[in-house]
Structure 1
Amino acid sequence: MKRFALLFLIIACSFTQSRAQFDINKLMEHQWVDSVFNSLSPEQRIAQLVWVNTAANKDVTSQFKVAELIKKYNLGGVIFFSGDPVKQAQLTNLYQEEAQTPLLVAMDAEWGVGMRLPGVIPFPYNMMMGASDSPEQIKAVATAMAQQMKRLGVHINLGPVADSNTQPLNPIIGMRSFGESPQKVADYAIAYMQGLQENGIIAVAKHFPGHGDTQSDSHYTLPLVPYSRDRLDTVELYPFRKLAEAGIAGIMTAHLSVPQLDPQEAIPSSLSAPIIQGILQNEWGYKGLVITDAMNMAGAETFGAPGAIEALALKAGNDVVEFPKDIEKAIEGIQQAIERNELTWEEINHKCRRVLAAKHWAGLHQIKPINTRNLLNDLNSPQAKLSKRQMIEASLTLLENQNQLIPLSRLDTLRIASLIIGNQSTVMPTPFQKMLAKYTQTTNFFLPENFSNEDLNNLKEQLADFNLVIAGFHLYESKTRHSMQVGNMQRVRPKRPYGLTAETESLLQYLGTEKNSIEVFFSSPYALSEINDFKKPQGLVLSYQADSLVQELTAQLIFGGIGASGKLPVSLASYYSLGDGISIEKAIRLKYTIPEELGVNSASLTSRIDSIVDDAIAQKATPGCSVLAAKDGKVFFRKTYGHHTYDQLIPVKENDLYDLASVTKITGALAAVLKLTDEGEINLDSPFSKSWPDWKKSLFHRSNKEALTWREILAHQAGLIPYLNFWTATRKDGQLNSKWYSFQPTEKNQLEVSPGLFLSQRFKKKIYRQVRLSELKEPGKYVYSGLSFLLIPEITKRLSGEDYTDFLNKNFYHQLGAYTITYNPLDHFPINRIIPTEYDRYYRNQQVHGTVHDEAAAVLGGISGNAGLFATANDLAKLMEMYRQMGTYGNHKYLNKKTMKEFTQVQYPENNNRRGLGFDKPLLNNQELNESRSYPCTAANPQSFGHSGFTGTFVWTDPANGLTYIFLSNRVFPTREGNKLGQLNVRTNILKVIYDEVEK
């Protein structure tokens, strides 16, 4: 027994070390193979060499017919095509129950089971993977595919495609190939094989001896491959030979006519002994399974009837015939061939043992029913999503980048038109356009696939005012899916030729010669080959597919959220060569990704944040909120919760604007002060009164604030009182005084307090006077005050010579592409995108919606330094990222690093004052405190900084840990009374979760 255990351990270790290798001769020696083989009748040994096709979306009668065939003959395997994942798993369990010998379950899943099953993530096509020029990335994707297959009860993937696609008009391979270079195709196919076989999935290379240079489809005819043996050895055969040497478990024989390998007239290579035995098995010494392509294809049927061709296939050297047109005739034909001595039982028995050896390798000696619980979630695992994302990112190919246009810079100078051509989706804007709009302001345009000259001329008129057109071409997606007579399987087949119209040619010429443009082809790269006299645009990206994630990542590449590294896997006429591709090494703006890219568990992160927010909404701490988290410039959490109001009529959306309240202090007023300090207009240790002379005292001008410095004021220890209710001075007998107000704007009344209520400009003087004469507490103690921030817009105007909002837009928001950071949002956005705040029963006697909640900012017409800004979480994150990066974002320096360092460090720790200059900071001994006493949480690094707002907003950024966090809510709806959001520590508890999950 000990001897047997030791032997088993040695075998197991050897098997693990060479898992990607597949030497079937050694596997055939296993005891399980002997035992099962001896249990089979002669007819069952034949049936082990036959695979039947099925699909989970077939009718019940067809599915049960397959079950009957499996039970009757004890077939060797089943190939699934289209259908539902759960139904496929249930059918697999049924079929395995009916089988005397466990079935090999195969799928033709070249880019993962999502190729066949709706609802499951599909991976990129082989050609897109080839553009990554990374065997490591390809292996990672194949590993993710293998994990999906194992979970689904699949043992064999009919992939990789190892054809070198050297024919642009190939009607059947095309995007299914890794490219045109035989060497690279071999490298990539081996990596694909390793990803599958190291994870227990049998890989089957196809279509031997090579289908990459044909202009006809073997599903409908017998294609001719007319080349010499030298050419075949160096192009068609080369990848298959390398795969055979690498130990691939299976090779599929194609239905091709290759006269230089077998001169017999019109014989398909799948039925040719000189090709299969002569080259594959004898010349190359290949020891794996040899499997036919589907036997119901016209390329095979041209040579004989069902039954006869299956017998010929086995005689030629195939071990398995898959997808016969008629299972009963196939088995009967093989039996008749044995009776006629065309096949021997020795050959059948040998092949049967080979099939059984493959079953043991695949784990069928320990088969268990598939558990369908959480199946779809498991198939769409975060790890699978990450593998797909990383592959797409590595594959996007930048072919033109004149004057280093990409990544786009100086966003404030660009008027961008986002044009989509040919997309047939009913959902507009497209994922591409939505992602472009996350980076800056864009205007969307659309052209149908078959647009007319009139359509084009109208478009040109509309584009006249735009200085950049980003055009996404979807024209070359296959809109028609042709049945390939393989059950219900349907495969994307590009149109031949690629569908360019004269109008499309005109559009391309216009974009290339008359407009500053970036063209993106969400299609086969071969589409470019068909363009006559291609006028190269300033920017050109090949994105290969129109998958929504491909679209999103392409948009990120254009703006610098990701770099570029893809290389062209094929040559394109005289325009571009194999291997072309411009590299951009680093990202310069926010990247939108998933937590797993940062090593964060998305399920844990999401469930913990959901729990906090759901509880807050249930307790009516806020009707809804928007949460964003980024690390190292990568947005890894972005989610909205709840509704605009408690009536739950309008859900919160990502592009909704919130009233930032006191977050305005650091995103508006402080941004201006930072810039003016950089430019030498403000000296932090000089008196504030130097910039604001109203605070200077004279014989006739009282002031107790003349000596207060900028540093003391911004650190909140100058002695200023927190707040003044200016609006109360505008009332008379409990009503708003008509001396100050009108219901329409007038020459004097220009300050819009709320819609339909305008305050006199003269009231500003009253505000400034009240601030100057306000009480001054003992200096040197930390007392939070917003009074000085009320004055910063006017100070900015005096020092810069520019209007305050223009100054901020010019120097920050518009350059950042943050167009939703704005005062008075009703001037720019529809009200249904703006979250309401309080029903004001004190001052305005109306629902505050679209105008500032803070009364001090309201009497200044909504434009103040203490409050008044509105923004989306996404745009606010851009500004906070610039702060986190110490003044730099998007390859542009907004502020000097020295200035940012000064403003973000604690100024007066000796006074137990945690504040920076304007910025809030953690408690001085924060990391020594327990969580209940810390602020904002114990994990916050001393370098971190941010601010909170009365309406329920909070922003925080941590340069030491690379974190940026945004929380926006309207906790003051419908009333400011009570502060459950603060009592429940919702904002800081979420920040703690983010730190926790990132540190894990």
Structure 2
Amino acid sequence: MKRLYILFFLVLIQFVFSQTNKKIQPEPIWVDSIYNSLTFDEKVGQLFMVAAYSNKNETHAQDLEKLISQYKIGGLIFFQGGPVRQAKLTNRFQSQSKIPLLIGNDAEWGFSMRLDSTVKYPWNMTLGAVQDMKLIEKMGMQMAKQAKRLGVHFTFGPVVDINTNPSNPIIGNRSFGEDKENVTKRALAYMKGLQENGVFATAKHFPGHGDTETDSHHTLPVVKFDKARLDDVELYPYKELIKNGLASVMVAHLNVPSIEPREGYPTSLSYHVVTNILKNELKFEGLIFTDALNMKGASNFKQPGDVDLEAFLAGNDVMLFAENVPKAIEKFNQAYQANVFSEERLAHSVKKILTYKYRAGLHNYKAIDLVNLYSDLNDVSYDALNYQLFENAVTVLKNESKIIPIHKLEKEKIAYVKLGDGANDTFLTKLKEYASVTEITAFDLDTALLDLANYSKVIIGYHKPDGAWRKNELTFRELNWIDKISKENETILAFFTKPYSLLKFPNFHHTETVIQAYQNTDMVQTIVAEIIFGAKTAKGKLPVSIKDNFLVNEGIVINEIKRLGYNIPENVGMDSKKLAQIETLANYAITQKTTPGLQVLVARKGQIIYQKSFGYHTYDTIQKVKNTDIYDVASLTKVLATLPVFMKQYDKRRISFDTRLCEMLPRFENTNKANATVLDMLTHQARFQPWIPFYKATLDSLKRPDSLYYRTSYSEEFPTKVAWNLYLRKAYNDTILNLIAKSPLLPSKQYKYSDFSFILLKEYLEHALHKKLDVLADENFYSSLGATTMTYNPLQKFEVTRIAPTEIDTYFRYQTLQGYVHDMAAAMQGGVSGHAGLFSSAIDVAKMMQLYLQKGTYGDHDYFSEKTFNDFNTCYFCKDGNRRGVGFDKPQLGNEGPTCGCVSMTSFGHTGFTGTMAWADPEKEIVYVFLSNRTFPNADVNKLSKLSIREKIQQIIYESIIE
């Protein structure tokens, strides 16, 4: 009740003054009125900020309540716990405090420094490599937004210690680096982001903790520099931040003889350091915090209570982590009675604290709203910035002979070796998504060297757990492995750990490429893989020197080469929350038994921003679908295999749209299809029949494979493998071609989808180029694209368990089709046809579609000209009601078509019978891939199409575009 009365009185005062004299500022009125309402003990209580934990028991909370209600402490610094628990405790404690409490958090790299379930930004050392200060300022802004949401007023950062000592056991990664200018630039950006968004920054650890070899948590570190050196280096960031409105400073527990001659006297308790230097010389007028007074650097010097008084007498305003507030208040009383300090001195600090409470909005205190607190603190925009920060930090220190980005994938055989005890799964997964990469897991070096002798490049990843103070130095064994492997192989060495880990290397003479990644998060593992393969540009600069091997500010810019990268949706103008609806629709599709499982991939602006797999290989829910699994893509084969190889022929002017079928395949000279042109064939208006069930003529009276045509094992007479233990007789492909040749034409020239055109184009390509279509597609496209899963007859390359089964065939092959093409005609051609037969994962389909989106270029390769792509992506007969491009499907005309109806008319792609879709939109720069085995266990009813699952997912994708 008393608190409510005081608050009502203060609001009334503000109202009166605001009405009578607009020039009078309410802040000093509020501060003076509060100060004058306090007893001496209550004034002293405001000087203490006590440690609070949201992961401790009720006894701890009640102890704090006693300090708040009886001793009127001024604030709390929260340590370990969780955000919701902390918010509940904050509300509880604030409700019991006579004057609202100042709340602080150690959140140097975000609240995750202390709290679970919160955002973790990069270490300061990682940020030291970032060259774009706007990104660091934005990080400060986001930190401020999170702090305000959690009721926190002081973020105890930035750390402005200049880490000139690599052996520093407590600062290290917490520092922006060894260069005072670099540290200051980043600290200013960090501070600006915080303070311009309503949260106070605290520069620490004054006068400078960067060149110490002991930890002030355990002892009193010694700094031996003279005053001139301190002025020039350690104090430099403070001077600049103070000029720019720094709110507060934290004073460290250090022994600095040059500025405090008393032996073993901590700087935090030194009048000369706190008052003469910080206040008087540097003209700092903001709030001054001690470092935690429970740290041995201070607590070894004086007992609780005595140490608090000594810190206050030195000039500190807030005694942080006071261990015994009642004892301290007693000591303050005794000192005041003995005239050790004056009322004026007490008022100076207490009024300053109250001023900051006013500026924090505590004169209009509102409890923390707990609704949506977790989601608000973990908004996807925070992940988006994190990705940008890491992307800008990764530093290439050496790149002899321009090894990276790796260009000619088709000429490379790449191995990966993991060192260190940190996680590496994401790195290896991403490497394998760019190229065929083999992990070498030998236990001894000799075996590893023998295995690696067959590889053109070796990527070594040194992975350590992503902990702030862990010792991440390489072992002798690890150094030896790196040295020997580098001598024998062309090596790319990536360090997912602090840069000081490199200090143990005498030199890097034998290593072609050295990448410093700073941390070992999933994000940074992805980014390093992107840089190695040219999907991202390397921009970072080294924040510290690594002996004479690499100096501070070194870093080689590595430019991207137009390969698909990865990112957070918001970084390419898309809404993650909207995209999350894909999961709901995908799971709905599975529960409705439209397909047992599926893969969805979305890319925009060359960045994969959604890649997920759902469901299982079959409805028995035994084997979950993974992103690395492979599907029969059915008619996507047309645009992923046959069409691109044919486009190269067109690009080389070996063929034109007017070329007739009889010119490509002379055997059709005297048929009714002789004059069918390429343009008519590829726009499906050559009057061809849609299809012929070729397989039916090869069945016996029981509708089983006739022994006249089939055998259960391979022989020269029966060489064509149709399925497991089923081989078709030699030269039956000629029968298929003859049946096509003899088939009647449709009555009129109009759009009618047919497989015949692509079956015939495959014959043309193989005869013209003297190689099989699967070889042509791989040599001309897949190998150089790094499309390692895109293949015909996948069982020749992959384990069957990696391939989703397509159908339980009860009409032709009488077996479960897994790894054998579903399409009957393609099966009868040995699994390789122009219209079907291809298998792939979603990411490799996306690579081909991105190649098209980039109009013939990908990964520094020029596959065909922009003109060629444009020629094939034109709808020549839209006016006649034929929506087709040349080989490509196009958006619907009217109500008929394969898309959501929301795509641009320049978009293109294809769909497949097995439940697949690949679509690209140049105007929105979007690639969408949907793979499924909707034909399992049988293809009788196409529920996937009836429920428009593929189209509805595409609709969600377009609705998620926010710019």
**Partner Cα separation in structure 2 for residue 573 and residue 865 of structure 1:** 59
**Could you tell me which amino acid in structure 2 is paired with residue 440 of structure 1?**
A
Of 857, 872, 875, which aligns to 1:888? 857
Q: Where do residues 544-583 of structure 1 align in structure 2 (5 Å cutoff)? A: 544-583=518-557
The alignment status of 1:430 with 2:425, answered yes or no, reads yes
The alignment status of 1:86 with 2:84, answered yes or no, reads yes
Of 706, 711, 714, which aligns to 2:679? 711
Q: SS of the residue aligned with 1:492?
A: coil
**Partner Cα separation in structure 2 for residue 590 and residue 492 of structure 1:** 32
* 2:4 match: none
Displacement, 1:779?
5.4
The alignment status of 1:133 with 2:127, answered yes or no, reads no
The alignment status of 1:826 with 2:789, answered yes or no, reads no
The alignment status of 1:682 with 2:655, answered yes or no, reads yes
| Contact 2:14–2:26 (Cα < 8 Å) also in 1 | no
Q: SS of the residue aligned with 2:514?
A: strand
Q: Where do residues 55-134 of structure 1 align in structure 2 (5 Å cutoff)? A: 55-134=53-132
Q: Which structure 1 residue ranges, 5 or more long, are not aligned?
A: 15-25, 448-453, 479-490, 698-702
**Partner Cα separation in structure 2 for residue 548 and residue 531 of structure 1:** 26
| Contact 2:572–2:605 (Cα < 8 Å) also in 1 | no
Displacement, 1:106?
1.0
Of 211, 217, 220, which aligns to 1:219? 217
Displacement, 1:961?
2.2
Q: SS of the residue aligned with 1:640?
A: strand
Displacement, 1:740?
1.1
* 1:691 match: 664
Q: Where do residues 889-904 of structure 1 align in structure 2 (5 Å cutoff)? A: 889-904=858-873
Displacement, 1:951?
1.2
Displacement, 1:912?
2.9
* 2:437 match: 442
**Partner Cα separation in structure 2 for residue 85 and residue 784 of structure 1:** 59
**Partner Cα separation in structure 2 for residue 74 and residue 660 of structure 1:** 71
**Partner Cα separation in structure 2 for residue 901 and residue 5 of structure 1:** 70
**Partner Cα separation in structure 1 for residue 263 and residue 146 of structure 2:** 43
The alignment status of 1:473 with 2:471, answered yes or no, reads no
**Partner Cα separation in structure 2 for residue 366 and residue 750 of structure 1:** 85
Displacement, 1:75?
1.1
**Partner Cα separation in structure 2 for residue 295 and residue 389 of structure 1:** 37
| Contact 2:405–2:560 (Cα < 8 Å) also in 1 | no
| Contact 1:456–1:503 (Cα < 8 Å) also in 2 | no
**Partner Cα separation in structure 2 for residue 7 and residue 198 of structure 1:** 27
* 1:631 match: 604
Displacement, 1:849?
2.1
The alignment status of 1:459 with 2:427, answered yes or no, reads no
Displacement, 1:2?
14
The alignment status of 1:493 with 2:466, answered yes or no, reads no
Displacement, 1:677?
2.2
**Could you tell me which amino acid in structure 1 is paired with residue 496 of structure 2?**
F
* 1:488 match: none
* 1:198 match: 196
The alignment status of 1:506 with 2:488, answered yes or no, reads no
Q: Deviations over 1:238-282 (max 9, x none)?
A: 101111111111100011122222222221111111111111111
Judge which range, 882-891 or 70-79, deviates more. 70-79
**Partner Cα separation in structure 2 for residue 9 and residue 155 of structure 1:** 29
Displacement, 1:680?
3.7
Q: Where do residues 865-944 of structure 1 align in structure 2 (5 Å cutoff)? A: 865-923=834-892, 926=893, 936-944=899-907
Judge which range, 885-894 or 67-76, deviates more. 67-76
Provide closer, same or farther for how the CA distance between residues 10 and 977 of structure 1 changes in structure 2, counting only shifts above 3 A. Answer: farther
| Contact 2:809–2:816 (Cα < 8 Å) also in 1 | yes
Provide closer, same or farther for how the CA distance between residues 887 and 251 of structure 1 changes in structure 2, counting only shifts above 3 A. Answer: same
**Could you tell me which amino acid in structure 1 is paired with residue 915 of structure 2?**
G
**Partner Cα separation in structure 1 for residue 19 and residue 183 of structure 2:** 36
Displacement, 1:915?
1.5
**Partner Cα separation in structure 1 for residue 604 and residue 422 of structure 2:** 36
Of 262, 272, 277, which aligns to 2:260? 262
Provide closer, same or farther for how the CA distance between residues 307 and 5 of structure 1 changes in structure 2, counting only shifts above 3 A. Answer: closer
Of 779, 801, 806, which aligns to 1:837? 806
| Contact 2:561–2:860 (Cα < 8 Å) also in 1 | no
Q: Deviations over 1:832-870 (max 9, x none)?
A: 322222222211222222211111111112111111111
* 1:995 match: 958
**Could you tell me which amino acid in structure 2 is paired with residue 952 of structure 1?**
G
| Contact 2:683–2:886 (Cα < 8 Å) also in 1 | yes
Displacement, 1:790?
1.9
Displacement, 1:536?
5.0
Q: SS of the residue aligned with 2:961?
A: helix
Displacement, 1:707?
1.7
RMSD: 2.4
Q: SS of the residue aligned with 1:32?
A: helix
Displacement, 1:499?
3.0
* 1:722 match: 690
**Partner Cα separation in structure 1 for residue 490 and residue 897 of structure 2:** 53
* 1:952 match: 915
**Could you tell me which amino acid in structure 2 is paired with residue 914 of structure 1?**
R
Q: Deviations over 1:217-237 (max 9, x none)?
A: 212222222222221111011
Judge which range, 510-519 or 715-724, deviates more. 510-519
Judge which range, 114-123 or 333-342, deviates more. 333-342
| Contact 1:27–1:361 (Cα < 8 Å) also in 2 | no
* 2:5 match: none
**Partner Cα separation in structure 1 for residue 580 and residue 621 of structure 2:** 22
**Partner Cα separation in structure 1 for residue 143 and residue 65 of structure 2:** 27
**Partner Cα separation in structure 2 for residue 610 and residue 219 of structure 1:** 48
Displacement, 1:611?
4.3
| Contact 2:51–2:77 (Cα < 8 Å) also in 1 | yes
Q: SS of the residue aligned with 2:118?
A: coil
* 2:627 match: 654
Q: Where do residues 180-259 of structure 1 align in structure 2 (5 Å cutoff)? A: 180-259=178-257
Q: Which structure 2 residue ranges, 5 or more long, are not aligned?
A: 1-10
Q: Where do residues 388-407 of structure 1 align in structure 2 (5 Å cutoff)? A: 388-407=386-405
Q: SS of the residue aligned with 1:853?
A: coil
| Contact 1:704–1:772 (Cα < 8 Å) also in 2 | yes
Displacement, 1:46?
0.8
* 2:323 match: 325
Q: SS of the residue aligned with 1:252?
A: strand
Q: Deviations over 1:467-486 (max 9, x none)?
A: 111111125x57xxxxxxxx
**Partner Cα separation in structure 2 for residue 78 and residue 960 of structure 1:** 53
**Partner Cα separation in structure 2 for residue 538 and residue 994 of structure 1:** 42
TM-score normalised by length of structure 2: 0.95
Displacement, 1:632?
1.5
**Partner Cα separation in structure 2 for residue 351 and residue 416 of structure 1:** 64
* 1:772 match: 741
Q: SS of the residue aligned with 2:524?
A: helix
Displacement, 1:192?
0.6
Provide closer, same or farther for how the CA distance between residues 90 and 29 of structure 1 changes in structure 2, counting only shifts above 3 A. Answer: closer
| Contact 2:803–2:818 (Cα < 8 Å) also in 1 | yes
Displacement, 1:7?
8.1
Of 558, 571, 595, which aligns to 1:622? 595
| Contact 1:741–1:758 (Cα < 8 Å) also in 2 | yes
Question: Aligned residue pairs: how many?
Answer: 952
| Contact 1:28–1:353 (Cα < 8 Å) also in 2 | no
**Partner Cα separation in structure 2 for residue 827 and residue 669 of structure 1:** 20
| Contact 1:881–1:964 (Cα < 8 Å) also in 2 | yes
Provide closer, same or farther for how the CA distance between residues 878 and 5 of structure 1 changes in structure 2, counting only shifts above 3 A. Answer: farther
Q: Deviations over 1:165-218 (max 9, x none)?
A: 111111111111111111221121111111111222111110000111112221
* 1:593 match: 567
Of 39, 42, 67, which aligns to 1:41? 39
| Contact 2:534–2:559 (Cα < 8 Å) also in 1 | no
Q: SS of the residue aligned with 1:867?
A: coil
Provide closer, same or farther for how the CA distance between residues 605 and 10 of structure 1 changes in structure 2, counting only shifts above 3 A. Answer: farther
Q: SS of the residue aligned with 2:608?
A: strand
**Partner Cα separation in structure 2 for residue 645 and residue 934 of structure 1:** 29
Q: SS of the residue aligned with 2:681?
A: helix
Displacement, 1:5?
7.5
| Contact 1:127–1:176 (Cα < 8 Å) also in 2 | yes
**Could you tell me which amino acid in structure 1 is paired with residue 673 of structure 2?**
K
| Contact 1:421–1:446 (Cα < 8 Å) also in 2 | no
Provide closer, same or farther for how the CA distance between residues 338 and 2 of structure 1 changes in structure 2, counting only shifts above 3 A. Answer: closer
